[in-house]
Amino acid sequence: MTQPTDRRRPLAALLVLAALAAPLSLRAASTGQTALHTPQGTGAGTADGDYVTATGGLNTFYRYFVEVPPGLGHLVVEVFDADVGRGGAAESTAGRDRDRGNGFSTTTTYTLLRPDGTTAVTVAGCNTTTCTDNGWQAIRDSMTAQNPAAGHWELRVTLGGSDDINAIGVRAHDGTSGAGGTELPVYIDSIVPLGVNPPSSGNYSRTYTLYPYVTSGCTAGENDFDYDSDSGTVGSLAFASRTGAFTQTVASASLSANNVWARNTINRWTSDQKSSEYGIWQGTFAISTYTNANGINGNYTTFYLADSGAAAMPAPCSAS
């Protein structure tokens, strides 16, 4: 399925981590509630990895998409831990939201758009007193979302006000709990914010499983920003193409240093490689905390799959 012509298509789209096991169609259904994406407020600077989306550059919104099949009776879209900082000081050590010194002054607005680009619902002002803390918040529920239009629905996540980190999970389903329910595929736009908040003591790592979508014409290079590899062993990346013929592991030393991009080619993949390899690849991403000069041991990065030789902010590969 392709995006409507009046809306920009997701580029080098990534199917995000799922809480379920095989098959892939089920694995790609949800971000779950342990490996959370970590978008940050517009007050964060580029030294914090603040490259956001392929549509608007810095300090814009993040975009998640839900693929809704024809004939679905109900649509439920939920965000895990939709608030910013409602749990107070415990948020960071619990691996969720993080206050960067301004007392949780960031708010988030969630906007769900139909496939034709019209707004279905807006949930605004999620902060320390509103929206659900450490649980699933229904952005759109089954009582009001009957017979949804088939196609790609967009969940737009807009942060403003400060530089706090809002660690969230996203899922979509038909409102039926248990084995009889239907989980819907959720994927994210090209540029993906990943991170790990500091634990109460010591260092901590978090692992993400992502599913890059590779099409003809792509060089399938890996790009990451601000992994802080100049501060020690901070993680690794590993990729496998659809059949496993193309693989690549990127060790910690080859990841990005503070406030810069790193680009790594994926083993032998060049433009218009084997057609049998087009489609959904798999990547495993590990990121670890480290203790910086200020005694803070969180770590955050931004991942992008595109031309490994691109200058500055990488140009995207097109996905359909």
Q: pLDDT at position 252, please? A: 94
Taking 50 as the threshold, does the pLDDT of residue 106 lie above it?
A: yes
Taking 90 as the threshold, does the pLDDT of residue 271 lie above it?
A: no
Provide the pLDDT confidence category of residue 180 given band limits of 50, 70 and 90: low
Task: Provide the CB-side half-sphere exposure for 266 (13 A, CA).
Answer: 29
Rounded to two decimals, the pTM is: 0.81
Taking 60 as the threshold, does the pLDDT of residue 194 lie above it?
A: yes
CB 243 within 8 A of CB 260: no
Q: Are strands 186-188 and 261-264 parallel, antiparallel or unpaired?
A: unpaired
Q: pLDDT at position 137, please? A: 92
| Rounded percentage of the chain residues whose pLDDT exceeds 90 | 30
CA–CA separation, 90 and 264 (whole Å): 37
Nearest CA among 133, 123, 297, 69 for reference residue 204: 297
Provide the pLDDT confidence category of residue 265 given band limits of 50, 70 and 90: confident
CB 307 within 8 A of CB 315: yes
Q: pLDDT at position 77, please? A: 93
Q: How many CB atoms lie within 10 A of CB 278?
A: 17
Looking at residues 249-255, what average pLDDT do you find? Answer: 94
Stronger pLDDT, 2 or 114, i.e. the higher one: 114
Stronger pLDDT, 185 or 139, i.e. the higher one: 139
Q: How many CB atoms lie within 10 A of CB 67?
A: 18
Looking at residues 209-226, what average pLDDT do you find? Answer: 82
CB 154 within 8 A of CB 71: no
Q: What domains are defined for the chain? A: 16-190 (2.60.120.380), 192-320 (2.60.40)
